[in-house]
Amino acid sequence: MKTRLYMIIPCYNEEKVLSVTSKWFLEELMNLIQIEKIHEDSRILFVDDGSTDHTWKIISELASLEEHFIGIRQSRNRGHQNAVLAGLMEAKDFADITISIDCDGQDDIHAMEKMVDAYHAGSEIVYGVRSNRDTDTVFKRTTAEGFYKILNWMGIETIFNHADYRLISSRVLQEFTQFKEVNLFLRGMIPLIGFRSTNVYYERKERIAGESHYPLKKMMGLAFDGITSLSIKPIRMISVLGIIVSFCSFLGVTWSFAVQMMGKSVAGWASIVSAICLIGGMQLICLGVLGEYIGKIYLEVKARPRYIIEERTFGQKKK
């Protein structure tokens, strides 16, 4: 029995690239069908993440002209991770495998065939991994590689230089439904599921049009989500820092008493101000880290939906 594939493509204000990359996705899908790697009922599922331009109009038109194109639209912008999740959950009851890929055309579409081959060879998860970062700026390359190293140091299992280009089997997706957290960092959550996995390497290209929807602010937000959602090491670091500062403070108090007893004490505001600023700064940093975790708990206990589908270009989801 042939494998039914659903491509999951999150879109946010992608009207400048969608008309071009949609043809590339369709060509790859039809090629995989023709060489009998996947079933003819395979689909390309666009997920409109509450776009404010004509992205949903383009998706609707594509779906009306070609049966292999389908789309869903979120009720509002929820972010890239939530859009990918919405597509995966929508497809899990229809597809044997899913491949999530960004809409901008930077990821090598032809790597999908290798991913499907790896699945047929027994892998339930296939990660698309960049072979190099030559297309990135020096700043982005340095910060991105540093980010993965920090995650690894924090004890978070991730695939180096892997973003959200991956193949996931329906078996894995069924198990993934048990993960209920609101704070999503998929590239750290998927490895937690287990099952056999492998990597497929590819070269990432320049964006064909438009601007990246992941500026520095969003990249920093994703980094904080990844760390605070999957690691408690920052809290442990605070505990260690507290012990170190307490020990230093004890030494300082002992030294001050010794100086006082020897009658050599000299009144000075600089040392006092420096100590106050140091301790005060550490306290604020620690409170900030604790606040991040408390905020995450606050969002999790509300158990609000991670996405809401407003429209579909096809029939309602099977029960």
Contact call for residues 90 and 56 (beta carbons, < 8 A) = no
Mean pLDDT for each consecutive 10-residue tract of the chain (319 residues)?
91 91 94 93 95 93 94 92 93 94 90 94 93 73 75 77 90 92 85 92 73 61 67 72 71 66 60 66 74 75 83 67
Write phi, then psi, for 177 (nearest 5 degrees).
-60, -15
Total domains in the fold of the chain: 2
Residues 203, 249: one domain? no
Q: What is the C-alpha end-to-end distance of the chain, expressed in Å?
A: 24
Residues 245, 177: one domain? no
What is the pLDDT at residue 319?
A: 38
Contact call for residues 179 and 189 (beta carbons, < 8 A) = yes
What is the pLDDT at residue 45?
A: 97
Residues 203, 263: one domain? no
Cα 51 from Cα 74, distance rounded (Å): 9
CATH at 129: 3.90.550.10
DSSP letter string over 24-38? HHHHHHHHHHHTTSS
Residues 11, 157: one domain? yes
What is the pLDDT at residue 287?
A: 78
Residues 138, 279: one domain? no
Answer whether residue 219 is part of any domain: no
Residues 167, 39: one domain? yes
Sheet order of strands, 43-48 included: 197-202, 125-130, 162-169, 97-100, 5-11, 43-48, 69-74, 309-312
Answer whether residue 318 is part of any domain: no
Residues 209, 240: one domain? no
What is the pLDDT at residue 223?
A: 66
Answer whether residue 184 is part of any domain: yes
Residues 139, 206: one domain? yes
What is the pLDDT at residue 212?
A: 59
Answer whether residue 224 is part of any domain: no
Residues 249, 154: one domain? no
Answer whether residue 319 is part of any domain: no
Neighbours of 292 (CB within 10 A): 16
Residues 146, 50: one domain? yes
Give the ranges where the chain is alpha helix by DSSP (H).
15-34, 55-65, 80-91, 111-120, 138-153, 170-176, 186-193, 216-230, 233-261, 269-302
Q: Which residues pair with 128 in a beta bridge?
A: 200
What is the pLDDT at residue 219?
A: 65
Residues 308, 282: one domain? no
Give, to the nearest 10 degrees, the angle between helix 15-34 and helix 55-65. 30
* Cα Rg, the chain, nearest whole Å: 25
Residues 298, 155: one domain? no
Answer whether residue 134 is part of any domain: yes
Answer whether residue 93 is part of any domain: yes
Residue 110 is part of which domain span?
5-213+304-312
